[in-house]
């Protein structure tokens, strides 16, 4: 069972995401609303997966991705945003993230599919 850290500044979205992911077999081990809190929480919880919003109050997830990778080098980082993947395609490709998942399509199955693509690389 993959341990997930949810990083999003919207508490209501985090609650829905947690419920969806836990119903599908993931274990949410932490939540954060800022990059600073994400780095602390990642260090404390050592998640297998970080679901990372791109727009955060103290910076953007794309820039923070490398910092998170340094804290939890084995974690799979998946970007999540209300905007479409086409707007972030280049940024995702250049980052250490394993993929992108639109918030409107978030489910345990969708996250597992993104993680499965990483495993096939």
Q: Where are the alpha helices (DSSP H) in the chain?
A: 11-23, 35-45, 61-71, 89-94, 108-119
Q: Which residues pair with 9 in a beta bridge?
A: none
pLDDT at position 121 is 41
Candidates 66, 47, 62; CA nearest to 32 is: 47
CATH code for the domain in which residue 20 is found:
3.40.50.2300
Q: Could you report the per-residue pLDDT of 63-78, keeping only the tens digit for each?
A: 899 999 999 999 999 9
pTM reported for the whole predicted model: 0.91
Judge whether residue 3 has pLDDT over 90: yes
Candidates 91, 99, 103; CA nearest to 120 is: 99
Q: Classify residue 116: in a domain, yes or no.
A: no
Q: Classify residue 74: in a domain, yes or no.
A: yes
| Domains contained in the chain, number | 1
Residues 6+ away with beta carbon under 8 Å from 87:
81
Mean pLDDT of 44-48: 97
Provide the domain limits for residue 98. Answer: 7-103
Q: Classify residue 115: in a domain, yes or no.
A: no
């Amino acid at each position: 069972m993959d341990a997930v850290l949810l990083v999003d500044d919207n508490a209501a979205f985090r609650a829905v995401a947690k419920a969806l992911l836990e119903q599908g077999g993931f274990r949410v081990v932490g939540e954060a609303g800022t990059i600073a809190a994400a780095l602390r929480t990642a260090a404390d919880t050592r998640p297998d997966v970080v679901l990372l919003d791109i727009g955060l109050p103290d910076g953007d997830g794309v820039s923070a991705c490398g910092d998170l990778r340094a804290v939890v080098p084995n974690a799979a980082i998946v970007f999540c945003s209300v905007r479409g993947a086409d707007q972030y395609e280049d940024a995702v490709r250049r980052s250490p993230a394993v993929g992108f998942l639109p918030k409107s399509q978030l489910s345990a199955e969708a996250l597992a599919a993104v993680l499965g693509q990483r495993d096939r690389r």
